Amino acid sequence: MRVVECRACLQGGCFERMRLNVSKHDFKFLTHFNSIKKMRFTKMHGAGNDYVYVDCFQEPVPSDPSSLAVAVSDRHKGVGSDGLILICPSDQADAQMRMFNADGSESAMCGNGIRCVAKYVFDHGLCQKSRMTIETGAGILALDVEEENGKVQQVRVDMGEPILLASEIPTTLAGNPDLNHHVINVPLSVGGHEFAVNCISMGNPHCVIFVDKATDDLVLKIGSRIENDERFPQRVNVEFVELVSPTEVRQRTWERGSGETMACGTGASAVCVAGVLSGKTERKITNHLLGGTLLIEWDESTNHVFKTGPAVEVFNGDWDD
């Protein structure tokens, strides 16, 4: 018999040991390994916008979710994701979501993430209603799920009303006097580029820029500079949008705290609002993102934005705490 120490022992985390019976190739544990805590997680994506989800109906809420978000999001040393989303009980809705970016910062909402929350709570039996409510930092949102053979395939989200007042977005850019002082078609100079920008909040701030071509130079270099520009006191998500037709666009997003992502649901919603207010699109559009397609409608009668798109569960795993 030879003594083998567990990983936690080698790291100084405990004094548990096990013995390996080499001849029988089985383990005889002298003590248990419950001191090594594991957290169950689920990897999901909505149009390629991927997050690590933790079911806090079953798991304890992580003591430091910001640090956990940084660790799990690492695509080389972690699970790999755009951030972390906690699915929690709520006394106001069917569930609550808390969303943390890859840099550990917490955001009020994630449009693609909330669709995956709805799929998770339905598919895992936490709430099996065709219409459910999810509590977010931006308020309580209503979602309609489309299921097939007991599994949610697509979700329609009532994203609520867009926020257009500069101080509430927030941005210090002056509003356009010709457009109710909303920050629409307002000039912005960054990195030697001159843009006409449109600023909207869908629970988190967005700067929407219509361009002829959403190049890597714009997205990967200028996107970061706009995100951290002092005229956006809480930083900002940046959408570079190619207009295909009044009912169709292509979008690339530099996401606050995460860099370029495959999709951004609140950003796609902001693009629709910006398109209408700037006279470039109709109220119902098809938005093609790197990771998939979303259908967006800014309903005139309610002033609410509705977003429809897929939600996919990729795999489950255990994370060593």
Confidence of residue 6 (pLDDT cuts 50, 70, 90): very low
pLDDT band at 27 (very low <50, low <70, confident <90, very high): very low
Q: What percent of the chain has pLDDT over 70?
A: 88
CA–CA distance from 88 to each of 129, 135, 195 (Å)?
Answer: 17, 9, 41
Residue-wise pLDDT tens digits, 250-268? 999 999 999 999 999 999 9
The predicted model gives 198-227 an average pLDDT of: 97
For residues 240 and 252, the answer to whether their CB atoms sit within 8 Å is: yes
pLDDT (average), residues 197-215: 97
All domains in the chain, ordered by first residue = 1-36 (no CATH), 38-158+312-320 (3.10.310.10), 166-303 (3.10.310.10)
Which pLDDT belongs to residue 60?
A: 95
pLDDT tens-digit profile of 41-73?
999 999 999 999 999 999 999 999 999 999 999
What are the residue numbers of the active site? 110, 264
**At CA 318, angle to CA 315 and CA 319, rounded to 5?**
120
- Whether the model clears a pTM of 0.75, i.e. scores above it, the answer is yes
